[in-house]
Amino acid sequence: MALTSTIGVTVDGIYTKTADLSTAADNLSKRYGAYLASGTGAGKADLRFADTRTLAASATEDIDLAGSLVDIYGATLTFAKIKAIVISAAAANTNNVVVGAGTNPWITALNATGTITLRPGAGLALFAGAADATTYAVTAGTGDILKIANSAGSTSVTYDIVIIGSSA
């Protein structure tokens, strides 16, 4: 199987201020991203996991990046490196989705104990540049768990997750 991926974040906006006789406008259009060819080296990826998941009230789940996720074709995925991860909390959620490190944590930009709270409708995108050969390593058995939690006990939460990486 082959995988090609384009990952990006686009920021577009017009910042205006009205004066007595005119309106000043500052236009911003910026795209940050990476294109990944199929493979396992720098600027390449060969594995992808994508899913919509629901957590019951107060529930947590440990996502094992090395050997428990299954792709759309039923193949077990064992990530050695993560090139991109996108998590988006559903806008209809009442509670927050909390992203963090679990037992045997996958240490990322969050470090071993950090968390990021995604309020309803919020998202998180983390991706390595195409030239980055190091990317975000996964260590099976000791550094491969991404913990996702529901922040409260009142209702369930739903979130989308996309993980792109390589097997070597």
Q: In the prediction, which pLDDT does 134 show? A: 77
Q: So where are the chain's domains?
A: 40-166
**pLDDT tens, 66-92?**
989 999 999 999 999 999 999 999 999
Tell me: the pLDDT tens digits for 94-112? 999 999 877 888 877 677 6
Do the bridges between strand 81-89 and strand 97-101 make them parallel or antiparallel, or are there none, so unpaired? unpaired
CATH for 40-166, options being 2.60.120.10, 2.130.10.10, 3.30.10.20, 3.40.309.10: 2.60.120.10
**DSSP character at residue 143:** B
Q: Which residues contact residue 105 at a Cβ distance below 8 angstroms, ignoring those fewer than 6 apart?
A: 112, 143, 145, 146, 147
Percentage of the chain modeled with pLDDT above 70? 98
Mean pLDDT of the chain: 91
Residue whose pair of structure tokens reads 């919509």 in the numeric block: 52
Contact 158, 59 (CB under 8 A): no
Give the pLDDT score at 38. Answer: 95
pTM, to two decimals: 0.90
Per-residue confidence (pLDDT) for residue 105, from 0 to 100? 85
pLDDT tens digits for range 115-157: 899 999 999 988 887 778 778 889 888 889 999 999 999 999 9
Query: What length is written for the chain?
Result: 168
What is residue 141's predicted lDDT score, i.e. its pLDDT? 87
What is the pLDDT at residue 1? 80
